[in-house]
């Protein structure tokens, strides 16, 4: 191909040279010769341009002949990848919609007071729902158990509190819910094991955890521990007004050595 291009260039250059009169090349410039010379220069530029285009076409053809299968395969993979991703998004959306419908149906059962049916429905939703609905369904399942089987509800909340995949916020909420169920019966040592970490500064449910621990200490006749948690409530500037008010009532009860 390179040889053919060279021959083509030589032929066109020869033709341009013939276009200039011989005596104009050997004698003084004749009339119109400069104009003809300019035309020849333009023709030469066009020749080089055409040859460059031909070389580029030849190179592209060689690349295509050599790599066409690879190029086609890459194009197919790109199209298949985009189609697969779109299909995955559709499948996730469909699954989420189905889980949402199951969750809403379980909520309706709960609102109707059908706790056993609601607990079973939430358990079913938790088994096959996407992550968000699965977590909500597990919490609602434990809530329904609390209405009929408190001990099983505590176990369900304990399982949630131990599930590190949920994150600290969800785990703390589950531990707090379990503490609410056992505060009237559990010894203070068990309550502190459950809730003392939640009462530390910076924990999101620290106010409720401190209140439950103070109440447990009072119920277990340990006023010094109760006062320690009540002091934590009183000195925390972020304590909600309702929690602070209940803590004040409990402080008054402890100060008067009374119980109700």
pLDDT in tens, 184-218: 999 999 999 999 999 999 999 999 999 999 999 99
Q: Please tell me the predicted confidence (pLDDT) of residue 42.
A: 57
Q: Please tell me the predicted confidence (pLDDT) of residue 187.
A: 96
The one-character DSSP state at 164 is: G
Q: Please tell me the predicted confidence (pLDDT) of residue 224.
A: 94
| Beta-carbon contacts of residue 48 (< 8 Å; ≥ 6 apart) | 9
Confidence of residue 91 (pLDDT cuts 50, 70, 90): confident
What's the CA gap between 94 and 19, in Å, rounded? Answer: 77
Tokens 């003392």 belong to which residue?
196
Q: Please tell me the predicted confidence (pLDDT) of residue 51.
A: 60
From residue 208, alpha-carbon distances to 5, 9, 54, 169 in Å are 88, 92, 82, 14
| Beta-carbon contacts of residue 150 (< 8 Å; ≥ 6 apart) | 181
> Taking the C-alpha atoms of 226, 232, 238 and 242 in order, what is their torsion angle to the nearest 10 degrees?
20
* Residue 250 DSSP SS3: helix
Choose between 128 and 121: higher pLDDT: 121
* Residue 3 CB-half CA count within 13 A: 0
What's the CA gap between 205 and 201, in Å, rounded? Answer: 10
Q: Please tell me the predicted confidence (pLDDT) of residue 82.
A: 86
| Beta-carbon contacts of residue 226 (< 8 Å; ≥ 6 apart) | 214, 215, 217, 218, 250, 254
- Comparing 7-11, 44-48, 124-128, 154-158, the range with the smallest average pLDDT is 7-11
What's the CA gap between 50 and 72, in Å, rounded? Answer: 30
Choose between 7 and 198: higher pLDDT: 198
The helix or strand, by DSSP H or E, that contains position 157, with its residue range, turns out to be: helix 150-161
What's the CA gap between 150 and 156, in Å, rounded? Answer: 10
Confidence of residue 63 (pLDDT cuts 50, 70, 90): confident
């Amino acid at each position: 191909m390179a040889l053919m291009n060279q021959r083509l260039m030589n032929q066109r250059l020869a033709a341009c040279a013939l276009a200039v009169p011989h005596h104009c090349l050997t004698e003084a410039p004749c009339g119109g010769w400069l104009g003809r010379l300019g035309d020849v220069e333009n023709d030469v530029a066009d020749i080089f341009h055409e040859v460059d285009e031909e070389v580029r076409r030849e190179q592209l053809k060689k690349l295509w002949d050599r790599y066409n299968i690879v190029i086609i395969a890459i194009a197919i993979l790109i199209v298949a990848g985009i189609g697969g991703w779109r299909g995955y998004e559709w499948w996730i959306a469909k699954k989420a919609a189905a889980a949402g419908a199951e969750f809403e149906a379980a909520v309706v059962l709960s609102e109707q007071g059908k706790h056993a049916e609601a607990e079973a429905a939430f358990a079913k939703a938790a088994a096959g729902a996407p992550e968000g609905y699965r977590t909500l369904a597990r919490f609602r399942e434990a809530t329904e158990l609390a209405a009929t089987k408190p001990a099983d509800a505590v176990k369900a909340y304990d399982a949630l509190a131990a599930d590190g995949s949920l994150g600290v916020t969800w785990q703390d909420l589950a531990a707090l819910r379990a503490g609410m169920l056992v505060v009237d019966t559990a010894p203070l040592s068990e309550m502190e094991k459950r809730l003392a970490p939640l009462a530390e500064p910076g924990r999101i449910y620290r106010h409720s955890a401190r209140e439950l621990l103070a109440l447990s200490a009072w119920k277990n006749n340990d006023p010094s521990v109760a006062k320690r948690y009540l002091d934590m409530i009183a000195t925390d500037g972020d304590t909600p007004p309702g929690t602070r008010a209940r803590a004040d009532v409990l402080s008054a009860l402890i100060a008067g050595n009374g119980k109700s």
